[in-house]
Amino acid sequence: MFMGIAVLGLAVSWDYPIGTAVRMGTGYVPRLFLWILFGLGLVVMVLGLQGSGEEGADDPPLQWRPLVLIPASQLLFALTIDRLGIVIAGVLMILVGGIANRESRWHEVVISAVALVFFVWVIFVWALGLVIPVWPGG
């Protein structure tokens, strides 16, 4: 049952590029590959539906915190780095990343954030001399 749902999700995600490929493809190479992919997706789905669903049995239960907040921490970094600089963007990212884990302890996360930002500044800005915005407007 679990496999069925999982594979259904796979098939949907694979259907998506196929639909657009037929319209957008320049040349037949992508189209060729996408049809093969479509066929394989179908086979996987059929096999998955036939299977007993044992494969997913030992998976840990899904939790929203890591699943949403880890990517969110990267998104936040992407949105803030150019305007606010590495210090604020970095600390914000680590804080959000820290909330993602239920086992995190506040003081550890804060100390890590400061230490990591300093570390990154030393390596990338000071030692390698890269042009990274450090402070807002900088």
User: Can residue 134 be called a binding residue for other proteins (CB under 8 A)?
Assistant: no
Q: Determine the Cα–Cα distance for residues 113 and 40; give it in Å rounded to an integer.
A: 44
Q: Which of 14, 53, 85, 88 binds other proteins (CB under 8 A)?
A: 14
Q: Judged by CB, which is closer to other proteins: 70, or 88? A: 70
Q: Judged by CB, which is closer to other proteins: 25, or 88? A: 25
User: Can residue 104 be called a binding residue for other proteins (CB under 8 A)?
Assistant: yes
Hey, what are 41's tokens?
């997706």
b/e map of 59-84 (b: 16 or more CB within 10 Å)? eeeeeeeeeebeeebeebbeebbeeb
Pick from 95, 89, 127: nearest CA to 111: 95
User: Can residue 22 be called a binding residue for other proteins (CB under 8 A)?
Assistant: no
Q: Which of 12, 15, 19, 71 binds other proteins (CB under 8 A)?
A: 71
In the 8-state DSSP scheme, what is residue 58? T
Closest separation in Å from C-beta 74 to other proteins: 4
